[in-house]
Amino acid sequence: MFLQSMTAHSISSDPPEIRRKLEALQHQHEVIENLRSRINVAQLECARLETELSEYRASVAPIRRCPQELLLMFFEYHTCKNPRLIRNVLLVCKQWYELAISSPRLWNRIPINFDSDWDLKSACESIEKRLEQCLKFSGTLPLELDFDFSELIPPQNQIESKIWEDISKYIQEDGFRAFDTWVSDLNVDLLNDPAVISICQPHHIFGLLKILMGKDGGIMSRWGTLRVELPDDSELALDILELFSYATPSLVRLQIKYMRAEYASILGGEFPDLSALEHLEVSSAADLKLFKSNPTLMQTLTFLDMQSCDPSILTPFTRLQELEVICWVADRLEEDSFSHGVVDLPALRRLSVRGVVPNFGTLKFRVPVLDELHLSRGYIENPFIYPKVQASRISWEVERGWSWISKWTLDRVRLDLRAILLQYRSATELRLSSRWKEGILALVQELKSDGTWLSALRVINLEAEDGTISETIEVQEL
């Protein structure tokens, strides 16, 4: 504008022709300004009309005529794997926002994940806002809590890692070995003090847990499901477990991963009331002493790292319907891990054995004919243990995700498949991966041709990679 006014300004020495051109130029500038003003007005009017048209189209869209019950089903499906996605629903429109915040089922599932990030304080402040909303909008529904602390590391390690990260960028390549030694020899005890460095201290996490517990544990009475993955550091894990010292009379499902055997002897007053517990997942049978529940109510029981067990410890679980036993670590197997004895579970319907559970095959089972016996192989090459039970369905697999490690081939699983066909002759259904189709068909044909193999097997169901049935084979047609 300054240059425009300078070029359009006439001086006394300008000839008449130049003055006329300057006046014409000034007029054109005024026309341009007028057009710009009209364009701005037109653009604002276009934006207003587009907004009104968008609102109209949204108001008559088919989704607007969708009953609230169906909308809620859509919301629940959208947030099924990640409850935090509810924020996407809240931003769509006022109707969806009001429907979402008035639906407790969208707010009672609360996942909290922590990794090894430096700034725990900011992470907790962000999570705290979400917790307040969940507690407010979930009403009186039982809370389903999922705490993943598996990546959490002690603050002293955080400080050492931060020092290394911030300084290493200035270290020359030939100086890294000396630098690593210097960092590993650092004494960070003075820095590992909340009054000195607070940002990475676990008390921020403990504060979040206390919000979910409520004053004097008042909110813990609403806990219906609790899943906890403990950190590898024993001190951190114990600090977390010791917080669960209030009653949880409504807790139906409890899963604690990465418990260590020594924790049971250290802890004592945690989870004082598990009177409603029906589903329990722990590391070993020793943990049952810590989680004092009513065994006659238990329906499912999972041991994530079963190294040893006295079979009589299972006797009180008279209504147990599903038992899962897992053991992957081969170098800790003990010859006498299981005492020879009897497993008496009169209501058991499903048994799952994953990995090689030591001496599990020596146990005598007093159970009804099971609906399903699930057997799963890992990378361990020890001879597999086949429980002495009868079941209508036998499912067998190489543990998903580990097949490439073990380089399983048909020749390597042939002995397993043969043992299953010979030992579980009362089973009417066999389920396994379609990968083993050729081998299982050849084995069945071989056994049938022998004439001595008597079996109730009727169908072989082959599974696709996603676990769905891809093909059903009638045994009598082979």
pLDDT confidence of residue 40: 93
- Per-residue pLDDT of 370-382, as tens digits, reads 999 999 877 656 6
Q: What span, in angstroms and rounded, lies between the C-alpha atoms of 415 and 448?
A: 17
User: In this prediction, what percent of the chain has a pLDDT beyond 70?
Assistant: 92
pLDDT confidence of residue 120: 85
- Per-residue pLDDT of 186-240, as tens digits, reads 777 777 777 778 888 888 889 989 999 998 889 999 999 999 999 999 999 999 9
Helix (H) or strand (E) holding 391: strand 391-398
The one-letter amino acid code at 264 reads A
Instruction: Please report whether residue 224 resides in a domain.
Output: no
Instruction: Please report whether residue 6 resides in a domain.
Output: yes
Q: Kindly compute the dihedral angle of the four CA atoms of residues 434, 437, 438, 439, in this order, to the nearest 10 degrees.
A: 110
Cβ pair 237, 152 in contact under 8 A: no
Cβ pair 280, 302 in contact under 8 A: yes
Count of beta carbons in the 10 Å neighbourhood of residue 112: 18
- The total number of structural domains in the chain stands at 2
pLDDT confidence of residue 383: 66
Burial 21-50 (b: 16+ CB within 10 A, else e): ebeeebeeeeeeeeeeeeeeeeeeeeeeee
pLDDT confidence of residue 105: 93
Instruction: Please report whether residue 453 resides in a domain.
Output: yes
pLDDT confidence of residue 3: 45
**DSSP E strands, 3-142:** 109-113
Cβ pair 342, 367 in contact under 8 A: no
Segments forming the whole domain that contains residue 11: 2-60
Instruction: Please report whether residue 243 resides in a domain.
Output: no
Cβ pair 143, 180 in contact under 8 A: no
Cβ pair 171, 179 in contact under 8 A: yes
Residue ending a domain, among 60, 78, 110, is 60
Instruction: Please report whether residue 85 resides in a domain.
Output: no
Instruction: Please report whether residue 31 resides in a domain.
Output: yes
CB-count burial class (<10 Å; 0-12, 13-18, 19+) for 59 = exposed
pTM of the model: 0.78
pLDDT confidence of residue 338: 55
One pLDDT digit (tens) per residue for the chain, 478 residues: 444 555 556 677 778 888 888 888 888 888 999 999 999 999 999 999 998 888 888 777 777 778 888 889 989 999 888 898 999 889 888 888 999 999 999 999 999 988 767 888 888 888 998 999 999 999 999 999 999 999 888 888 888 888 888 888 888 878 878 888 887 777 777 777 777 788 888 888 899 899 999 988 899 999 999 999 999 999 999 999 989 989 999 999 999 988 887 787 777 778 888 999 999 998 888 788 788 888 999 999 999 888 777 788 888 999 999 999 988 765 554 555 555 678 889 999 999 998 877 777 778 889 999 999 999 877 656 667 788 899 999 999 887 665 554 567 777 788 888 888 989 999 999 999 888 888 899 888 888 887 778 889 999 999 988 889 999 999 888 7
Q: What span, in angstroms and rounded, lies between the C-alpha atoms of 171 and 157?
A: 20
Counted residue by residue, the chain has a size of 478
pLDDT confidence of residue 100: 92
Q: What span, in angstroms and rounded, lies between the C-alpha atoms of 360 and 348?
A: 17
Instruction: Please report whether residue 329 resides in a domain.
Output: no
Q: What span, in angstroms and rounded, lies between the C-alpha atoms of 34 and 290?
A: 82
Count of beta carbons in the 10 Å neighbourhood of residue 408: 19
Structure tokens at 432: 């396994």
Residue ending a domain, among 41, 60, 79, is 60
Q: Tell me the DSSP string of 328-371.
A: --GGG--TTSB-S-EEE-TT--EEEEEE--TTGGGPEEE---EE
Nearest alpha carbon to residue 119 among 208, 188, 198: 198
Instruction: Please report whether residue 98 resides in a domain.
Output: no
Structure tokens at 149: 């602390």
